[in-house]
């Protein structure tokens, strides 16, 4: 087996056996299975649904679930590696052929890959590490009427509550701003927006 | 006793927000020394706005924003994807804990927050709404 695009590591032994089994499927069965796979890849949180659909496929096509799961595991190696390395659909097709999948099926899969890759790329970018990500912001503002020092005050304050994701926990940060601070904060944030837009 | 009395007098003036000489003068008892009364009133009047500002600055509050810095980074690569060009904003807020609780040595902590472009747009929408609400209140 020549060099593969989607991985630098040796592929597990079972994979060529699994590809051979895949080749036995009809074009229609293969296309149905591919659809199930891509639906899972684009919505990775829907594990229950994915397993249910696999089980339906197994029953409908009279395949045992155990071997089917192994086949699926092997297939998924390619798109996962391809996503990490920004592979083109030709490279994905070439890899499947190198692994032993028939040309027809490899081309079909690569075509589906091309169609789905913008969604998949966006998902991968979304999973990228973010430090202290700002999740939510609430505010209230009001007037300070009086205090123990000053009987009548009448100054405006703005209170912000920032919800921040620190690791896996959410933390609330409360900050008070004076009016001039608020306006300069707003001004700075507008500058950030302009800067971000110029890089998009 | 003298210092304490003076302190009470000035606190009272600041609390009530007395700004005119007549109001302060009438605080003194009848037979108070005239020149001393005028001198004290003059000094108090000179300092009153500074004292009011300081009282306001040190009143109890939630932690206050003291400074803010930002930078824009471009993320080029991560463990989940080898090549990308995603701009992101890092915002550092310097927050001072309640001055009243910390006495003379307030604790300033720095909080760094990351915002994606979408988050920033949503935040700006929120800030814009605050600005509109503020001008509505100001125009009433």
Each residue's pLDDT expressed in tens, for chain B with a length of 140 residues: 888 888 888 888 888 877 777 777 777 887 788 888 888 888 888 888 888 877 777 677 778 899 999 999 999 888 888 888 889 999 999 998 876 666 667 788 899 999 999 899 999 999 999 888 888 877 76
- Nearest residue, CB atoms, A127 vs list B80, B83, B88: B80
Judged by CB atoms closer than 8 Å, whether chains meet at B78 and A129 is answered as: yes
For residues A124 and A160, membership in a common domain is answered with: no
- pLDDT level of residue A2 (50, 70, 90 thresholds): low
Segment A63-118, tens digit of pLDDT: 888 888 888 888 888 888 888 888 888 999 999 988 888 999 999 999 999 999 88
For residues A109 and A174, membership in a common domain is answered with: no
Model confidence at A152: pLDDT above 70: no
For residues A119 and A179, membership in a common domain is answered with: no
Give CA separation, B87 vs A120, B93, B123, in Å.
Answer: 19, 20, 16
pLDDT recorded at residue B103: 64
- Nearest residue, CB atoms, B124 vs list A85, A162, A189: A189
A7 touches chain B (CB under 8 A): no
B96 φ/ψ angles, rounded to the nearest 5 degrees: -105, 130
For residues A49 and A110, membership in a common domain is answered with: yes
Nearest CA in chain B to A195: B72
CA atoms within 13 Å, Cβ hemisphere of A2? 7
A194 touches chain B (CB under 8 A): no
For residues A144 and A119, membership in a common domain is answered with: no
Q: Which of A129, A152, A183 is the last residue of a domain?
A: A129
Going from N- to C-terminal start, the domains of chain B cover: 1-58, 61-117
Q: Mean pLDDT, chain A, as a whole number?
A: 87
For residues A103 and A26, membership in a common domain is answered with: yes
A175 touches chain B (CB under 8 A): yes
Q: What is the CATH number of the domain that holds A183?
A: 2.30.31
- Total length of chain B: 140
A8 touches chain B (CB under 8 A): no
Which residues form the domain of A165? 133-198
Domain count, chain A: 2
Which structure tokens are listed for B87? 């701009």
Q: Mutating which of B114, B126, B138 best tests the A interface, going by the most A Cβ atoms within 10 A?
A: B114
For residues A137 and A150, membership in a common domain is answered with: yes
Judged by CB atoms closer than 8 Å, whether chains meet at B123 and A189 is answered as: yes
Nearest CA distance, B55 vs chain A (angstrom): 6
- Nearest residue, CB atoms, A196 vs list B112, B117, B126: B117
For residues A55 and A121, membership in a common domain is answered with: yes
- pLDDT level of residue A193 (50, 70, 90 thresholds): very high
For residues A97 and A187, membership in a common domain is answered with: no
Segment A37-54, tens digit of pLDDT: 999 988 888 889 999 999
For residues A144 and A89, membership in a common domain is answered with: no
**E runs forming strands in chain B:** 64-75, 86-96, 108-115
How confident is the model over A109-131, as a mean pLDDT?
A: 87
For residues A171 and A120, membership in a common domain is answered with: no
Q: Which of B112, B68, B69 is nearest to A165 (CA)?
A: B112
Percent of chain A with pLDDT over 70: 97
Model confidence at A1: pLDDT above 60: no
Q: Which of A42, A132, A86, A131 is nearest to B84 (CA)?
A: A86
Task: Tell me the C-alpha distance between A79 and A51, whole Å.
Answer: 18
């Amino acid at each position: 087996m020549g060099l593969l695009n989607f991985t630098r590591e040796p592929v597990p032994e079972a994979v060529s056996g699994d590809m051979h089994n895949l080749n036995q499927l009809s074009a229609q069965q293969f296309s149905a299975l591919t659809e199930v796979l891509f639906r899972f890849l684009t919505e990775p949180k829907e594990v229950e649904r994915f397993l249910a659909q696999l089980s339906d496929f197994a029953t409908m096509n009279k395949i045992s679930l155990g071997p089917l799961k192994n086949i699926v595991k092997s297939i998924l190696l390619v798109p996962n590696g391809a996503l990490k390395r920004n592979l083109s659909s030709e490279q994905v097709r070439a890899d499947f052929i190198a692994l032993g999948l028939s040309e027809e099926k490899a081309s079909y899969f690569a075509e589906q890959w091309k169609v789905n890759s913008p969604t998949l790329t966006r998902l991968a970018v979304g999973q990228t590490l973010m430090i202290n990500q700002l999740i939510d912001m609430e505010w209230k503002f009001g007037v300070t009427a009086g205090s123990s020092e000053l009987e009548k005050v009448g100054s405006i304050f703005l209170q912000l509550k920032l919800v921040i994701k620190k690791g896996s926990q959410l933390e609330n940060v409360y900050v008070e701003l004076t009016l001039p601070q608020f306006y300069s904060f707003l001004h700075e944030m507008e500058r950030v927006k302009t800067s971000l837009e110029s890089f998009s | 006793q003298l210092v304490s009395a003076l302190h009470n007098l000035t606190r009272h003036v600041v609390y009530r927000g007395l700004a005119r000489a007549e109001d302060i003068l009438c605080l003194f008892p009848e037979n108070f020394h005239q020149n001393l009364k005028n001198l004290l009133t003059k000094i108090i009047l000179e300092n009153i706005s500074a004292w009011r500002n300081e009282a306001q600055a040190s009143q109890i509050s939630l932690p206050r924003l003291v400074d803010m810095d930002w930078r824009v980074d471009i993320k080029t690569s991560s463990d989940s994807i080898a090549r990308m060009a995603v701009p992101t904003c890092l915002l550092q807020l310097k927050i001072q804990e309640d001055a009243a609780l910390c006495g003379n040595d307030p604790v300033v902590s720095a909080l760094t927050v990351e915002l994606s472009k979408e988050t920033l747009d949503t935040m700006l929408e929120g800030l814009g709404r605050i600005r509109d609400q503020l001008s509505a209140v100001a125009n009433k």
